[in-house]
Copies of this chain bind each other. A is one copy, B any other.
């Protein structure tokens, strides 16, 4: 069955009672004050159709969803072996910002979607791009076709004020020789990427290349190769949902990436990209109602990768 506006609206109503059972991220004030009642979903089909419901046009902080964008850029700039010598491809089995595993594995992060891994990717971008922060914004604007997308400066500044743990992660990797640049400017770029403000429609459009063998449905451009697209989807499926990747695969069955802003993107290869938003998080740090909405969508339209 095809997703329709009605199906999406029904699903939102069905998951709305979950609001109140999760917890809005509160480690920075800018996130803590987002109303917990926001709820939106957007689907972007490989035919270029947008289907949406709820607060799908309201921008929010994409947070860790940006890790998939950073990796996409890095995959377009580096040879695979240059990337995978510095970051692994395996699920972490630990909280997303754990330093224990990072020390045990000698400064090589387990995968590019835990903080350590995304910071290595930011370091890679910093080494090869003259203005990585500008380039990422340009990249997202092109992919989504939306020039309104900006960095939320308040969020970025607030992240920087609470950067001690990420600084510890970066310095630890540097002590193992797995960090090339100065820590502070790389973290500043990393936090800006997290502070991208986008809505569900922007996100669904932006990630259309993952559903379309690497070709952006929005622009028609080949962003990464079909092989790289398969690889990136595989990484998202095994590592994209922090320490809840197995549960997400079990319930939703789509490659995906979540952020503590309450957004999740998910991919049905060959068919569509999806974005949901609900700010309250479950114990693994993934949107509670957002995950449920994707689970219901998978059931209603009979789509998953399994």
CB–CB B250/A234 < 8 A: yes
Give Cα A233 to B251, complex, Å: 11
Give Cα A110 to B245, complex, Å: 12
Instruction: Tell whether A234 pairs with B249 under 8 Å between CB atoms, given A93-B94, A164-B172, A175-B165.
Output: yes
CB–CB B246/A230 < 8 A: no
Q: Tell me if A247 is interfacial: C-beta within 8 Å of chain B.
A: yes
Chain A 159-181 interface mask (CB, 8 Å, partner B; 1/0) = 00000110111111011000100
CB–CB B92/A98 < 8 A: no
Instruction: Considering the complex, give the chain B residue whose CB is closest to the CB of A104.
Output: B100
Per the CB 8 Å criterion, the residue count for chain A at the interface is 49
A68 CB to closest chain B CB (Å) equals: 14
Interface SS of A by simple majority: helix
A219 CB to closest chain B CB (Å) equals: 22
Give Cα A93 to B105, complex, Å: 11
- On chain B, the residues within 8 Å of A249 by CB distance are 234-235, 237-238
CB–CB B90/A247 < 8 A: yes
Give Cα A164 to B178, complex, Å: 11
CB–CB A306/B245 < 8 A: no
